[in-house]
Amino acid sequence: MTDLTQMKVLLVDDTPANLEVLRENLKSEGFNLSIAPNGKIALKIANHVKPDLILLDIVMPEMDGIETCKYLKANPETKNIPVIFITAKVDTEDIVKGFELGGVDYITKPFQQSEEILARITTHLTLRKTQKELHDANENLEKNVLERTSQLHNALKEVEQLKNQLQAENVYLQEEIKSEHKFDEIIGESEALKKVLRDVQEVSPTDTTVLILGETGAGKEIIARAVHSASDRNYKPFIKVNCAAIPANLVESEFFGHEKGSFTGATEKRDGRFTLADGGTIFLDEIGELPLDLQSKLLRVLQDSEFDPVGSSYTRKVDVRVIAATNRDLKNVVKSGEFREDLYYRLSVFPIEIPSLRQRGEDIVLLASFFVSQIAKKMGKNIEPITENASRRLLAYSWPGNIRELQNVIERAVITSRQGQLNLDRALPETATTDDNSISATEGVNHPQKIITLRELQELERENILRALNAADWRVASKSGAAALLGMNPSTLASRIKALGIERS
């Protein structure tokens, strides 16, 4: 039998004797009883106590049972409480009114058959308890359904985000595959390079921000990749961004991503490079070209590891190590107001300066040999080892375009090679070829090897740049400009022109 102990019953009757009889019968069953002598008090008690059942006398002064029931059923807090009417006579009209208002049963006075009254009360309390249990179970079921639906929605959202991220990573990796890496190994034995490698070894195990400094083509990206590969993040992405190659109005979206419709052309949601690099490393090449208004947002990522995608109302947290690189003197750029001083200090926690190729001496021939082997194999050619004459010619050149220029020269030399001999005549720039004719003519004579001073290297570089400028009618950055002829970045060439004091006469 259902346990109804402590279920709440409200007795409403203006006759004390009737109340006493009902109270004694119900109390013995363990019910929790409340008593009201009239309808007004009954309404207050019902609203406060929320009984499980109301026994309501029909005939009462001021507010009879029918009117009291109307108020009970009109109140959302009490409308579902079952009401059993008490009547002194079997008045069909009153009973019909009571049922129409929502009454569930009636009992008659005097209360002679107490067992029958208890049976009716117990039946309706059992129904009430069952209804409440079903209601609670239904609420719990709805709550569980909502929770599971929410969980499923979140799971689908995560799947969608992962899908978008994988698509974005795929696009990025396709770009990486298409891009031509100029070299894929660190080659060299010079003390200048060994110092760089010691710096890499020291900083790699940390999460410290690194600023790599060096001329265009000196190998800044390969050093950034070396730092990433030697770190604990090497199983996570290494994401490269060339700050100089992105239109200024798209830099923020490229860095931090955007929501669909956040600007003209944003036809779908896209994750930015910082999201793709989460857990790994982001390499910001040419950081000195970053627009001033974006520098504060980059500073926020460095300080708080968070950013807001374009058009989004939420903040995204990321765990990304930042490696930046530049061929510019950032201290001077800070002084000119083009670069934030606080960002500069955030980036240059651990600076690594990459030596130019002309500062690496013996590494030039080692790198050239590596490129000869690599390129010849790709072209299906057999090239003999670099001769002493070719080595001297390579060492005599100033290499303003650094390793990138060296690889281009070697590729041209391999293309024009005949009978397995590396042909530098058409590969080296005109000044280098002309200046080295005397070496070529006297090869085989037992001369001591010429030692080239830094001043001589700079003079060779100066002459080489002047020839290129004259050939390009002093245009630097056009397709047929001096930078293109030398295989250099226009900004690097402009810096070298200034440093060497070259002026148009």
Q: Give the model confidence (pLDDT) of 24-54 as tens digits.
A: 878 777 888 889 999 899 999 999 999 989 9
Q: Residue 393 and residue 405: Cα distance in Å, rounded?
A: 15
Q: How many CB atoms lie within 10 A of CB 212?
A: 29
E runs forming strands in 88-247: 105-108, 210-213, 238-242
Least confident segment among 168-177, 250-259, 427-436, 469-478: 168-177
Tokens of 328: 């510019």
Residue-averaged pLDDT of the chain: 82
Contact 392, 439 (CB under 8 A): yes
Lowest-confidence region among 309-313, 356-360, 445-449 = 445-449
Share of the chain above pLDDT 70, in %: 87
Residue-wise pLDDT tens digits, 316-360: 899 999 999 999 999 999 999 999 999 999 999 999 999 999 998
Are 84 and 117 spatial neighbours (Cβ–Cβ below 8 Å)?
no
Q: 55-71: per-residue pLDDT in tens?
A: 888 888 888 888 999 99
Nearest in space to 251 (alpha carbons), one of 267, 231, 224, 273: 273
Q: What is the pLDDT of residues 113-124, one digit of tens each?
A: 677 778 888 888
Q: How many CB atoms are located within 10 Å of the residue 172 CB?
A: 18
Three-state secondary-structure class, residue 256: helix
pLDDT at 431: 55
Own/partner pairs for 114-121, CB < 8 Å, 24+ apart?
Answer: 114/21, 114/25, 117/22, 117/25, 118/25, 118/26, 118/29, 120/84, 121/9, 121/26, 121/53, 121/55, 121/84
Indicate the residue type of 408. Answer: N
Give backbone dihedrals phi and psi of 301, rounded to 5 degrees, phi first. Answer: -65, -40
Task: Outline where DSSP puts E strands in 156-303.
Answer: 210-213, 238-242, 281-285
Lowest mean pLDDT among 167-171, 196-200, 340-344: 167-171
Least confident stretch, 19-23, 101-105, 258-262, 334-338? 258-262
Residue that wins the pLDDT comparison between 467 and 443: 467
From CA 79, how far away is CA 151, in angstroms rounded?
A: 35
The predicted model scores a pTM of 0.53
CB 241 within 8 A of CB 254: yes
